Structure 1
Amino acid sequence: MGSSAGKYNIKAVSTMLGIQPGTLRAWERRYQMIAPVRNESGHRLYSEEHLKVLRWLISKVDQGFTISQAVSLLENSGHFREQADSTKKDKLNEIGEELLDALMEFNSSKAHELINYAFNLFTIDKTVIDLLGPILIKVGDLWEEGSITTAHEHFATSFLRSRIEGLSSSFPHSSFLPRAIAVCGPGERHELGLLMYTMFLRRKGFEVVFLGTSLAENDLEVVLDKIEPKFLFLSCTLEENRKATLDLMEILNRNYPNLHVGIGGIAIDSMPVEQRKNHQENIVGISRTEWEKWLKKRIDSF
């Protein structure tokens, strides 16, 4: 792990890049574009990868872009976004295998170390969506096939949820973006996929009320009337709950004509082609690209 580990303190980075430490800390806090590790004393340590990202951002600011515009360019263009080469993919897979092993051994300190290392190499979105997400799916598959115990499944999902929740709640929201609600569909208890989608929304600047697992009948309407959001996202992972989720979506579409209802999850993505066509306007998709496209189309309509 040494080659890309943090080795420059904030004073050194400030000197090398010509940026004030206070400005750098503000960028990190507001935009979360890098995640420097901290040493035993709690001081930030930056890697060569972090310096490359910061140099690129500073060059854009020098060209006249605002820092928010530069960060948006960074995310949308894919520049420095892990450079999607075989070496990076191999490293991500390697970390994923080690992390899964650590979770199966109930080794939380090792798991924390590996996730921190991943944040040191990759963007926050990449780490959560392409590393933690597949591990969550793998843990669920192992449990369903009887390869691991309920204790393993509970420990792993609880650990990963804690990391994702802690990160998700730290993002500032924009007063210019509409409010949203994220909740599991009727009968649904699996909320980690929804939590990851919530992190994606919060990362975009949305204020999201995360309600988690399925609510009692009529409780959702109470929340909608109180909050008056513009978006509601329903998650469905089990096929047995799909019809109830679709029925709820149809009711919400009728009763709240100004509300954009998005649906997602394994059970939604596995629908037959004809059924998907009937609900295409509400399906948010499974990839970040699809999520971005679905949101943009509806935000532009405001």
Structure 2
Amino acid sequence: MNNVKKYFSIRDLENLSGIKAHTIRIWEKRYNLLSPERTDTNIRTYSLKSLQKLLNITLLYHNGYKISKIAKIPEHNIPLVAREIVAKNSYKNHAINAFKLAMVNFDQRLFFETYNSLIADSSFREIFKNTFVPLLNELGLLWQTDTISPAHEHFVTSLIKQKILIHTEKLQHQKPIKTDKVFVAFLPENEIHEIGLLYLNYEIVLRGYKCIYLGQTIPMENLVDVMKYFDNIHFLSYFTVKPEKDKINKYLQEFQKLVMDYPNPKLWLLGRQVQHIDTANQPSFVKTFTSLEEITAKL
């Protein structure tokens, strides 16, 4: 069972807030901003409430408030002042921290307020590249170090997926204008990390191509049906955790058998597992990419 994490170490606070542990201790001692509990071995632990307070304080601090001034704000007013900052259209440099605060609080309203403040003067593509990608990179590290729970990660990634889908749907009402390629986007079996693939689907449709989005955990043999309808398919997939590094080359061999009778097959791949492909024996129709920017430039 995934339990929401309720207690945090000072290292967790440093990871989430970006404020050094040494500085947090100074703020705690000099301004009494946080009140940690102590374990039997005299190690500081902080409640979820303390983490929320620190993230709010960090928002104020990075927006020009001196820590001595923050210390004088009544505790119950600190979230209100932070919300006012988030709601301003000019607020963009600290959006990642605001999204983390929304995640920790399971606060979708704060997520939307932060997003709306960004979209007021930035494109969706700019927000994804400059804010969502760095945020997702941070979430991976925070999850691996047990700083946040899987529930936190699923909450915020689901909201990001919503935004990708909303912007993609707006484009899908238009008829594709480019016909030299048809993209088929899919994730291999047991692969569920689809934000990258969802965003690529958006970029493909934005450029006027038809993209058949199949989504998560697709058995390879299911791709046969699609090949019956189109003769210019570019398969597109994102290997984040699947196939495993000791199975990825076998996967490509099986894929090669699957498309052996298909005219001019193409398979575009990116994701962490791509590094384990044996390039010496890589099928000629397989092209690998190292980043979203690289593959979108190829579209």
After TM superposition, the score normalised by the length of structure 1 is 0.59
Is contact 2:143–2:150 with CA below 8 Å preserved after alignment? yes
RMSD (CA atoms): 2.8
Detail structure 1 runs of 4+ shifted over 4 Å in the superposition.
90-93, 276-281
Distance in 2 of aligned mates of 1:130 and 1:245: 34
Provide the secondary structure at the position in 2 that maps to 1:170.
helix
Shift of 1:262: 0.6
Whether the 8 Å contact between 1:104 and 1:156 is mirrored in structure 2 is: no
Residues 171-196 of structure 1, C-alpha deviations (whole Å, 9 max, x = no match) = 13423333211001233121111111
Instruction: Return the letter of the residue paired with 2:267.
Output: V
> 1:219 corresponds to which residue?
222
Q: Does 1:266 align with 2:272?
A: yes
- How far did 1:279 drift? 6.4
Q: 1:91 to 1:256 in 2, by over 3 A?
A: farther
Alignment of 1:210-289 (within 5 A): 210-238=213-241, 240-242=243-245, 243=248, 245-252=251-258, 254-268=260-274, 270-271=275-276, 275=279, 278=282, 282-288=287-293
Give me the whole-angstrom Cα distance separating, in 1, the residues matched to 2:238 and 2:208: 20
Q: Higher Cα Rg: structure 1 or 2?
A: 2
Identity %: 20
Gaps of 5+ in 2: 1-89
- Structure 1 portions without partners, runs of 5+: 1-89, 296-302
Alignment: residue pair count: 203
1:236 and 1:245 in contact (8 A); partners too: no
Q: How does 1:102-113 map to 2 (within 5 A)?
A: 102-113=102-113
Equivalent residues of 1:165, 1:195 under 8 A apart: yes
Does structure 1 retain, via aligned residues, the 8 Å contact 2:188–2:220?
Answer: no
Asked if the contact 1:236/1:264 (under 8 Å) is kept, the reply is yes
Please say if 1:174 is aligned against 2:179. Answer: no
- The structural deviation recorded for 1:146 is 1.6
Higher strand residue share: 2
Mapped to 2, the partners of 1:261 and 1:162 lie a distance apart of 27
Larger relative helix fraction: 1
Residue by residue over 1:266-302, the C-alpha shift from the partner in whole angstroms, topping out at 9 and shown as x without a partner, is 221x347x738946851133042x224433xxxxxxx
Q: How does 1:145-224 map to 2 (within 5 A)?
A: 145-171=145-171, 172-177=174-179, 178-224=181-227
Matches within 5 A, 1:90-169: 92-169=92-169
Per the alignment, residue 12 of structure 1 pairs with: none
Q: Given that residues 133 and 193 in structure 1 are in contact (C-alpha distance below 8 angstroms), is that contact kept between their aligned partners in structure 2?
A: no
The residue identity in structure 2 corresponding to 1:99 is F
CA distance, structure 2, for counterparts of residue 176 and residue 241 of structure 1? 35
Q: TM-score, normalised by structure 2?
A: 0.59
